[in-house]
Structure 1
Amino acid sequence: MNNYPGMCLVFCFAIFGLGSAIRCVKCKDDTGSCTTTQDCRVDEDACLTLAERGGQTTRQCIKVSDCDFNRLAQMFPSVPKFTFDCCSSHLCNGATSIGTGKPLLGLLASLAVMWWCMQ
């Protein structure tokens, strides 16, 4: 029982990480090398990459229900031709995958503390 406060603290951090909002890359450029990130709002549960034909690429948070060609055409009326991709994990719309994210780290820390306490 000496380790009870420590275990509670680790579980709280793990639960906090699991409940946090998704994080996406946010920028508009033509190089594909943007690194600015943003924490998405609670109702935004996906990351968007929208590439204009022969132009810029827009990366931002979006509602997964808006990940539809017709809906995006309404949201971006000045972009006549584009391709897009929506994904649902942390920073998945970046040029490369960045890190494993807080939820996995919190879960692994919880498991490590539980294993240590059972020894």
Structure 2
Amino acid sequence: MKHCLGLFLLVCCGLLRLGSGLSCYKCADYTGVCENVQPCTDEDACISLSERDGKTVRQCIRYTDCNFSRLAQMFPSFAQFTYRCCTTNLCNSGHAVAKATPPLTLVGLLLCVWSWM
């Protein structure tokens, strides 16, 4: 019985989404440092779009607009650019960030281990 409860809690915690929606960094600058955070809708993704001269735009964008031709229309002043769309909180930081284990998943894992002892 304890094994089933621990496994059930682990699965539930892994599926539980913390927070109430996606948040992305929002800025347009040359520094690469961005601290403004913007809440997004359920249909959004975060984008980090960089022009060849170093200007970077970070913001929420509709996930369906994350393709080169649509972005070229939306950002006509950017002659050549690279972009990355992502769907986790603050994933458009531009820096490699180690993803921490969500606290509830860790609690579920500890409960599962405890139930096997």
Partner of residue 65, structure 2:
66
Q: Name the CA distance, whole Å, in 1 between partners of 2:41 and 2:19.
A: 12
Consecutive unaligned residues of structure 2, counting only runs of 5 or more, are 1-13
Consecutive unaligned residues of structure 1, counting only runs of 5 or more, are 1-13
Question: Taking every aligned residue pair, what percent have the same amino acid on both sides?
Answer: 43
SS state of the match for residue 32, structure 2?
coil
- How far apart are 1:16 and its partner, in Å? 7.1
Quickly say closer, same or farther: Cα 1:62–1:22, change in 2 above 3 A.
Answer: same
Partner of residue 108, structure 1:
106
Listed as ranges, the matches of 1:1-119 within 5 Å are 17-18=17-18, 20-44=20-44, 46-97=45-96, 100=99, 104-110=102-108, 112=110
Q: What residue identity is the alignment partner of 2:41?
A: R
Quickly say closer, same or farther: Cα 1:38–1:113, change in 2 above 3 A.
Answer: farther
Aligned residues: 111
Q: What residue identity is the alignment partner of 2:40?
A: C
TM-score (normalizing by structure 2): 0.68
Q: What residue identity is the alignment partner of 2:38?
A: Q
- How far apart are 1:97 and its partner, in Å? 4.6
4+ aligned runs moved over 2 Å, structure 1: 14-20, 95-102, 104-117
Quickly say closer, same or farther: Cα 1:92–1:72, change in 2 above 3 A.
Answer: same
Q: Name the CA distance, whole Å, in 1 between partners of 2:98 and 2:89.
A: 8
